[in-house]
Amino acid sequence: MNKLIIPQIIADAFDVPLEALSEKTRERDVVEARHFAMWFYVNHEHLGKARTGRKFNRDHATVIYACTMVDNLLQTDKGFINKSNKAFKALREAGVIEPETTEV
């Protein structure tokens, strides 16, 4: 399994360009995809917050904020939940995460 495809899979699931994940933009769709990617690296890939931040040209405090926001959105925002489930499905199909990993 190729871990380098994780950002591409997430960008595709959220329907944003891959390059946008590392750009300084505040467009909602891009921010949600970037936050989900950061949350995924911290919670599923067990990558540290500082290293995760560097992947996206951000600092560790931004990663902490992103993780908090994703945790909240996964409980309240149906549109975000649908995009997240789409990302989880694609990540499973690519062999990045185990098949038994549950959707949100």
Q: What's the chain look like in SS3?
A: CCHHHHHHHHHHHCCCCHHHHHCCCCCHHHHHHHHHHHHHHHHCCCCCHHHHHHHCCCCHHHHHHHHHHHHHHHHHCHHHHHHHHHHHHHHHHCCCCCCCCCCC
Q: What pLDDT was estimated at residue 98?
A: 82
Average pLDDT over residues 7-34: 96
CATH label of the domain that carries residue 65: 1.10.1750.10
Is the whole-model pTM more than 0.85?
yes
Write the pLDDT tens digit of every residue in 35-85.
999 999 999 999 999 999 999 999 999 999 999 999 999 999 999 999 999
Domain assignment of residue 64, given as a range: 3-93
Mean predicted lDDT score pLDDT of the chain? 93
Residue 101 in domain: no
Residue 59 in domain: yes
Question: How many domains, in total, are found in the chain?
Answer: 1
Q: In the chain, pLDDT over 70 holds for what percent of residues? A: 92
